[in-house]
Structure 1
Amino acid sequence: MADKSIPHFHNTRGVRVIEVGAKKFMCIGALPPFDHPHIYIDMGDDNEAVCSYCSTLYRYRSDLAGTACIPEDSLWDDHTTVAAAG
């Protein structure tokens, strides 16, 4: 199971930009079993970062809480995987 102390985001919808409330997170690509290697992204002083595997553009928004994201269903957790599989 993934380390949940760092938010994990996915881009199953295939959107161009995912806005996030964290500057350190993991990109998993699409939902399992179609995920790519989970990539740790640290934006540092920047407000945008691109995943080197799936080319998703992540944009930091200070008005979003740590695990919040837009689109809202881009946060990966165990319930996301179960819902997608079921």
Structure 2
Amino acid sequence: MAGHSIPHFQNDAGHSAIEIGVKEFMCVGANPPFDHPHVFLDMGDESEKVCPYCSTLYRYDPALKAGDTVPAGCLYEARAA
């Protein structure tokens, strides 16, 4: 995956599942300061992956772009200091 960044996703709203457009990503849990360790997840050949920290179920949807989520608003973007 050299040459591009890994998207990070958060689940402040406590959704049971989030659809995303990538199979390799980072889960941060909730937004800081309530986040968990930022863990790299890879779905491999599967279309779903559960975060071992927050139990969010991520589902791959090939129709979505890398930063898109369903429900909307789950892409994590670090704020500049």
User: One fold, TM greater than 0.5?
Assistant: yes
Partner of 1:57: 57
Tell me which residue corresponds to 1:17.
Answer: 17
Aligned AA for 2:68?
A: A
Q: CA deviation at 1:58?
A: 0.2
Distance (Å, rounded) in 2 between the aligned partners of 1:41 and 1:22: 10
Amino acid at match of 2:67: T
Figure out how many residues of one structure are paired with residues of the other and give that number.
78
**CA–CA separation in structure 2 for the residues paired with 1:41 and 1:20:** 12
* C-alpha distance in 2 between matches for 1:8 and 1:71: 15
| 1:12-41 Cα deviation digits (max 9, x unpaired) | 000100000010000000000000000100
What residue in structure 2 maps to residue 35 of structure 1?
A: 35
Distance 2:78 2:24 in 1: 20
Give 1:72 deviation, angstroms.
1.5
Please list every run of 5 or more consecutive structure 1 residues that lacks an aligned counterpart in the other structure.
Answer: none
Counterparts of residues 62-77 of structure 1 (less than 5 Å): 62-77=62-77
Q: Which amino acid is 2:76 matched to?
A: W
Unaligned runs of 5+ in 2: none
Give RMSD over aligned pairs.
1.8
What residue identity is the alignment partner of 1:44? G
Structure with greater proportional helix content: 1
